[in-house]
């Protein structure tokens, strides 16, 4: 069994449609793939519809969150959520708020870039997103199209970095509230790439313990952005706190260089995750 529990389609900031993504998953030899677009369930139906025989598709999402620690600005964290009820009102309303927040924030970044002479136009970026949830990768692609940078990676390393003067943060969900919303919707919350220091500031063990106390059920341990040492540390924490351990690629199509199935989840951990999710069912034969 090969299981990849974290992928993005063009419904958020990946480059393949949900239908293409499930075909890519099957072609890569996966038995299970989770679709975890940012702040939306908009790709679930299309992924289910296009699902090749033999492939299990797990409905999921990656919720944009923040950890509020003492004596420091909030830390950006991502919360994977699986098998929740897509119609649960409170979680649904929070997703809608986050998508709205993304639009306002994206526009501010683009306006600031344009004011300094970078030829990017917000309306064109929204149009190119084709109804998908807009993120910095969409702005990065516009910068590539305009010839300002050579690649999406180069855009993230410079103009769109969290250290760039053009960076604008978003009012993401308090992660403890996010965990509660996912649990109330029958879902399984898993802390995504929790120690990926290359992405920016990360939280301490105290924060992860607080998340576990709030109902977190798993840690994404094997992730392309985690070093061996970071994985070892998270695996130890998961054992200590009684949390599930997942491994995933965080595939984004050609927006990132990581291939699908670059990291995978142990079948026993996956079975436990399935048993814990009660808000929706996987799409399978």
Assign 3-class secondary structure to 238-276. Answer: HHHHCCEEEECCCEECECCCCCCCCCCCCHHHHHHHHHH
CA dist., res. 32 & res. 46, Å (int): 16
- Classified as helix, coil or strand, 201 is coil
CA dist., res. 203 & res. 69, Å (int): 8
Instruction: Pick from 10, 17, 24, 255 the residue near ligand AMP by CB under 6 A.
Output: 255
User: What number of other Cβ atoms are within 10 A of residue 74's Cβ?
Assistant: 16
CA dist., res. 41 & res. 59, Å (int): 8
Is the CB of 16 or the CB of 62 nearer to Zn ion? 62
Instruction: Tell the smallest beta-carbon distance from residue 4 to Fe ion (Å).
Output: 14
Instruction: Tell the smallest beta-carbon distance from residue 186 to Zn ion (Å).
Output: 22
Q: Based on the shown chain and the rule CB under 6 A, indicate whether residue 81 belongs to the binding site for ligand AMP.
A: no
Structure tokens at 242: 């009684």
Q: Based on the shown chain and the rule CB under 6 A, indicate whether residue 153 belongs to the binding site for ligand AMP.
A: yes
Q: Based on the shown chain and the rule CB under 5 A, indicate whether residue 66 belongs to the binding site for Fe ion.
A: no
CA dist., res. 250 & res. 262, Å (int): 8
As a dihedral over the C-alpha atoms of residue 264, residue 2, residue 268, residue 19, rounded to 10 degrees, the angle is 90
Instruction: Tell the smallest beta-carbon distance from residue 283 to ligand AMP (Å).
Output: 23
Instruction: Tell the smallest beta-carbon distance from residue 113 to ligand AMP (Å).
Output: 14
Is the CB of 60 or the CB of 106 nearer to Zn ion? 60
CA dist., res. 212 & res. 239, Å (int): 12
Print the binding letters for residues 27-66 with ligand AMP: x by CB under 6 A, - otherwise.
-----------x----------------------------
Structure tokens at 217: 């059920």
Q: Based on the shown chain and the rule CB under 5 A, indicate whether residue 250 belongs to the binding site for Zn ion.
A: yes
CB under 5 to 8 A by kind: which of Fe ion, ligand AMP, Zn ion, none does 156 bind?
ligand AMP
Q: Based on the shown chain and the rule CB under 5 A, indicate whether residue 13 belongs to the binding site for Fe ion.
A: yes
Instruction: Pick from 22, 79, 152, 221 the residue near ligand AMP by CB under 6 A.
Output: 152
Q: Based on the shown chain and the rule CB under 5 A, indicate whether residue 16 belongs to the binding site for Fe ion.
A: no
Q: Based on the shown chain and the rule CB under 6 A, indicate whether residue 13 belongs to the binding site for ligand AMP.
A: yes
Q: Which residues bind Fe ion (CB under 5 A)?
A: 13, 78, 192
Residues binding Zn ion (CB under 5 A) = 62, 250
């Amino acid at each position: 069994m090969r299981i990849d529990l974290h992928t993005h389609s063009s419904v958020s900031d990946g480059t393949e449609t949900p239908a293409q993504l499930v075909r890519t998953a099957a072609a890569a030899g996966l038995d299970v793939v989770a679709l975890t677009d940012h702040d939306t369930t908009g790709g679930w139906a299309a992924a289910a519809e296009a699902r090749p025989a033999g492939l299990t598709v797990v409905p999921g999402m990656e919720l944009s969150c923040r950890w509020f620690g003492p004596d420091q600005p909030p830390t950006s964290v991502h919360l994977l959520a699986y098998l929740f009820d897509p119609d649960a009102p409170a979680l649904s309303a929070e997703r809608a708020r986050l998508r709205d927040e993304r639009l306002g924030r994206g526009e501010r970044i683009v306006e600031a870039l344009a004011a300094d002479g970078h030829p990017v136009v917000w309306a064109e970026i929204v149009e190119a997103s084709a109804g998908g949830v807009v993120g910095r990768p969409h702005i990065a692609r516009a910068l590539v199209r305009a010839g300002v940078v050579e690649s999406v990676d180069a855009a993230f390393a410079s103009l769109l970095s969290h250290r760039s003067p053009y960076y604008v943060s978003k009012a993401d969900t308090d992660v403890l509230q996010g965990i509660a919303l996912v649990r109330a919707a029958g879902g399984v919350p898993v802390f995504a790439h929790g120690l990926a220091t290359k992405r920016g500031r990360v939280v301490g063990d105290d924060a992860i313990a607080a998340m576990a106390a709030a109902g977190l059920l798993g840690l994404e341990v094997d992730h392309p952005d985690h070093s061996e040492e970071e994985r070892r540390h998270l695996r130890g924490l998961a054992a200590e706190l009684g949390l599930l351990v997942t491994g995933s690629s965080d595939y984004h199509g050609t927006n990132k260089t990581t291939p699908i199935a670059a990291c995978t989840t142990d079948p026993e951990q996956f079975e436990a995750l399935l048993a814990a999710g009660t808000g929706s069912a996987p799409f399978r034969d």
